[in-house]
Amino acid sequence: METIERIKQQIAENSILLYMKGSPKLPSCGFSAQAAQALMSCGEKFAFVDILQNPDIRAELPQYADWPTFPQLWVEGELIGGCDIILEMFQQGELQTVIKEAAAKMNTEENS
């Protein structure tokens, strides 16, 4: 599968998806650590892709997303943004709302 197709599939299959360096429990950079921490604080499950283990995604995603840096948070197919945006939204209480709504939709779809 082409890398862009794989990225599209990952975004389509995961309503809350974080592209990051490392994993939420073992992040490999401070920005990814902060983004994952904010997401975990929302209390909902989310998927992640370690771009250090996927150099093709690391190379292709910035062009596809038109966003040059990592981490990248995608919710319901939309790019939310990187670390600064994630933290700002979290501090204002917006991230929790967006994540809970996406998780609620996901749970409804799974149960229907």
Residue ranges of the annotated binding site for glutathione are 21, 58, 70, 83-84
Binding-site residue numbers are: 21, 29, 58, 70, 83-84
Q: Residue 57 and residue 61: Cα distance in Å, rounded?
A: 5
Binding-site residue numbers for [2Fe-2S] cluster are: 29
Q: Residue 57 and residue 50: Cα distance in Å, rounded?
A: 9
Burial class (CB in 10 A: 0-12, 13-18, 19+), 52: middle
Contacts with 31 (C-beta within 8 Å, 6 or more apart), sequence order: 21, 69, 70, 71, 82, 83
Q: Are 35 and 85 in contact (CB under 8 A)?
A: no
